[in-house]
Amino acid sequence: MPYSIQQKLQSLSNPIKKELKLSILLFSLITTSILCYNVITPLQPTSLFNIDFLSKILPNNNLTPTKSSNKSCDYSYGKWVWDETQPERRYSENCPFLDPGFRCRQNGRQDLVYQKWQWLPEGCLLPRFNANDFLQRSRNGRIVFAGDSIGRNQWESLLCMLTQGVSNQSTIYEENGNPITKHKGFLSIKFHEYNLTVQYYRLPYLVASDRPPRNAPKEVRGVVRVDKLHWFSTNWVGADVLVFSTGHWWNQDKTIKSGHYFQEGQYINMTMDVMEAFKRSLNTVKLYIMQNLELKKSRVFFRSYSPVHYRDGEWNKGGHCNTSTEPETDKKRLEYEPQNNIYTYEVVKQMESAGIMVQFLNITYLTELRIDGHPSSNREPGTPVDAPQDCSHWCLPGVPDTWNELLYAGLLTTGFRMKPV
């Protein structure tokens, strides 16, 4: 297996000749690609050195991670390929940092093939996630996830992925002794051996939300303060990595239709629409970042919109996603690029030109294909049988693991805390 070649490589001691290392890596990567290719086209008789296939992939990009890791690569487009080695080479559902809602198998899901897909970007190889390397680079550091529950989904995925690089799991713990649950607004996991903390701050809108001010009109039941951040944000100063995650709460139902209006200064703007408010909020986050973060130190990521998959009805009108057990193949069923992404991308570009090390973590397309990856009816224990299906969060291990592979790749691109060799 090519993976074991790579593992062996990693364990090889330093003095090995660089050229040799590179050529073995190159070879193993090529065989990996061929294997993946063979797996997805099992009916075609394929020889190991399928020249046609190689010539399609090779000219496009550097296959050596040493080179591509330092070069920006677009991982957002590609396809899902079957990978028999998953999820064993990641983590299991027994990882202690998964909250009950994401443990789909324990919640009754029978088909487990959703765990067996690997994202294969077009024209670029995604560096293999290396928990040891990630931890080494993050030593004495702090990684912050701020955002909605999809962000918590990704945070838990990263915790479990990093746990793979630690031999004694008792040395990883929540700093305040809190259980991992969706009911907590703030959770901080310490990787003691590495003096690393990985934190989650629950902020569905990123900006602050509040009770209505005293003089507010009767229909106002709450406000989203588009020009004000939650006090949590004072804790983000000094973080090495920040991952912002928002999206699902920016809709009519959760805001205006349920009495949550947008406030600017002391003024509740009863006519401000959701997308305008979203834009202004992103701007608030942008100003915060430009004023507070250490430019040379902090890496900032904005995760793109994570698609939902309610078929035959809205989430609360009997919509479901339990009939798909594999990724979507019908491209006609894919949605257009959400407006959220356009706005987020714009703000990312503005920050970039101001010298911030910021990246747009564009997971929308790859995620859109994964209608099979949601908890659907396999929700956490205690959920009433007639409750709506969950077609917005993700089973773990599962799709957010790939987001974290992209996050890792993004960190490598900027030489994140590389040690001089």
Ligand X SMILES: *[C@@H]1O[C@H](CO)[C@@H](O)[C@H](O)[C@H]1NC(C)=O
Q: Can you give the binding site for ligand X, defined by CB under 6 A?
A: 70, 76-77, 140, 142, 168, 170-171, 195, 269, 271-273, 276, 320, 322-323, 337, 341-342, 345, 362, 364-365, 377, 414-415, 418
Residues 6+ apart with CB under 8 A from 164: 90, 91, 131
What one-character DSSP code corresponds to residue 155? H
In 3D, which of 368, 306, 304 has the Cα closest to residue 335? 368
Cis? peptide before 307, omega within 30° of 0: no
| CA dist., res. 335 & res. 330, Å (int) | 11
Work out how close the CB of 36 gets to ligand X at its nearest, in angstroms, rounded to a whole number. 19
| CA dist., res. 358 & res. 356, Å (int) | 6
Nearer to ligand X, 35 or 263 (CB): 263
Work out how close the CB of 418 gets to ligand X at its nearest, in angstroms, rounded to a whole number. 4
Nearer to ligand X, 87 or 141 (CB): 141
Nearer to ligand X, 249 or 278 (CB): 278
Nearer to ligand X, 70 or 383 (CB): 70
Asked if 50 and 34 count as a contact pair (C-beta separation under 8 A), the reply is yes
3-state DSSP call for residue 379?
A: coil
Work out how close the CB of 25 gets to ligand X at its nearest, in angstroms, rounded to a whole number. 16
Residue of this chain nearest to ligand X (CB atom): 415
Nearer to ligand X, 288 or 365 (CB): 365
Work out how close the CB of 170 gets to ligand X at its nearest, in angstroms, rounded to a whole number. 4
Q: Which position has the token pair 């394929």?
A: 46
| CA dist., res. 147 & res. 149, Å (int) | 7
Structure tokens of 383?
A: 């959920």
Nearer to ligand X, 89 or 297 (CB): 297
3-state DSSP call for residue 38?
A: helix
Q: Which residues pair with 173 in a beta bridge?
A: 190
Nearer to ligand X, 322 or 383 (CB): 322
Work out how close the CB of 49 gets to ligand X at its nearest, in angstroms, rounded to a whole number. 30
| CA dist., res. 307 & res. 392, Å (int) | 7
Q: Which position has the token pair 């409750």?
A: 387
Work out how close the CB of 111 gets to ligand X at its nearest, in angstroms, rounded to a whole number. 10
Cis? peptide before 217, omega within 30° of 0: no
Work out how close the CB of 208 gets to ligand X at its nearest, in angstroms, rounded to a whole number. 18
